[in-house]
Amino acid sequence: MLLPQASQASRGSGSTGCNLMAPELDTAQGAEMRRGAGAARGRASWCWAMALLWLAAVPGWPAASGVLSRRHWPVPYKRFDSRPKPDPYCQAKYTFCPTGSPIPVMEGDDDIEVFRLQAPVWEFKYGDLLGHLKIMHDAIGFRSTLTGKNYTMEWYELFQLGNCTFPHLRPEMDAPFWCNQGAACFFEGIDDVHWKENGTLVKVATISGNMFNQMAKWVKQDNETGIYYETWNVKASPEKGAETWFDSYDCSQFVLRTFSKLAEFGAEFKNIETNYTRIFLYSGEPTSLGNETSIFGPTGNKTLGLAIKRFYYPFKPHLSTKEFLLNLLQIFDAVIVHRQFYLFYNFEYWFLPMKFPFIKITYEEIPLPNKNKTLSGL
């Protein structure tokens, strides 16, 4: 749930002019932050990521009466007029964008090399473990030929992935509490070892300084209006052409949006294969259940509210091994046996009638943009 007073985040910050969210957060443990998303105060344990991977390898609650399901799919990602300050309750274990800096203004005739950067998620903690499963983090690198300076730009969660995917159930609050916010992070330098050792550092284009400056203005606008992270892609089935209900909004989507915008500005990309990690849920047509007020407010649907909180309860953090295994069985029972999932998207709750294969992690090719095709679609 993304309320103006509550903050949501995951892995990085920065935008044209500055790392917008970093001033609100503790700046300790800087170097580690660029290497992946860890946990936060009240964070969802990394174990749940492992649990989701397990569920992905496995070969509902009835819809609220009187609630009409949406007919236009996928549901558009909601943008906002401005970015709220993080709620003090939401604290990152690994500082968001610790070395963030303003995006510089480049000389118009500078040649800026553009690099695709990709490395395993949480590599700083688990090395190449998730790389073997093709669970990758994406970013973009730049190099000015006039100055010789390198830069990295990425988009990730302010308070790590678990907080963006599952809420906190605070005893003093009726509704689930979300610490979910994502932002762009720009800083000088490219950690060659980090990207090359278990991932990718490859040149994909050369742009002019003017194109770079145009991109910087767009990044600022994109960063100020797209404020929350969305882990899940939700589709009707794995089949090609199947209906998409919801799209993710994560690091790879930021890279894809940026590459597409650069193509609009005239950039010509190389013809090389580019793959991205995507996490899918599979369900029948979702049902809109309402927002926090309509479900958890004074005149809300208490039965539905209780069902939603019961669904999220097994994902709580700080579990012993025994508790984790027991809760994993509850998750399996809800998602696989009873085929139900409650999704929070655009400040609204949705019921997903889950379908086989339920959840799947893919590493799909999404081609680099073609300038001519991009311009013809404008």
Spatial contact of 25 and 112, defined as CB atoms under 8 Å apart: no
Nearest Cα to Cα of residue 212 among 294, 109, 305, 74: 109
Q: Rounded distance, CA 110 to CA 289, Å?
A: 52
312, containing H or E segment: helix 302-312
Q: Which of 18, 90, 97, 251 is catalytic?
A: 251
Write out the DSSP string of 200-235.
EEEEEEEEEHHHHHHHHHHHHHHHHH----B--EEE
Q: Which of 18, 90, 97, 137 is catalytic?
A: 137
Residue the block writes with tokens 């510089």: 104
Write out the DSSP string of 31-61.
HHHTT----BTTPPPTHHHHHHHHHHH---P
Write out the DSSP string of 245-307.
EE--BSHHHHHHHHHHHHHHTT--B-----EEEEEEEEESS-EEEEEHHHHHSTTS-HHHHHH
Q: Is 47 a catalytic residue?
A: no
Tally of CB atoms within 10 A around 184: 28
Which pair of tokens denotes residue 165?
């995917």
Q: Could you write out the three-class secondary structure of 58-80?
A: CCCCCCCCCCCCCCCCCCCCCCC
Cα angle vertex 8, ends 299, 336, to 5°? 70
Tally of CB atoms within 10 A around 85: 12
Residue the block writes with tokens 């003090």: 88
Tally of CB atoms within 10 A around 111: 15
Q: Is 168 a catalytic residue?
A: no
198, containing H or E segment: helix 192-198
Q: Rounded distance, CA 160 to CA 39, Å?
A: 6
Active site residues: 137, 251
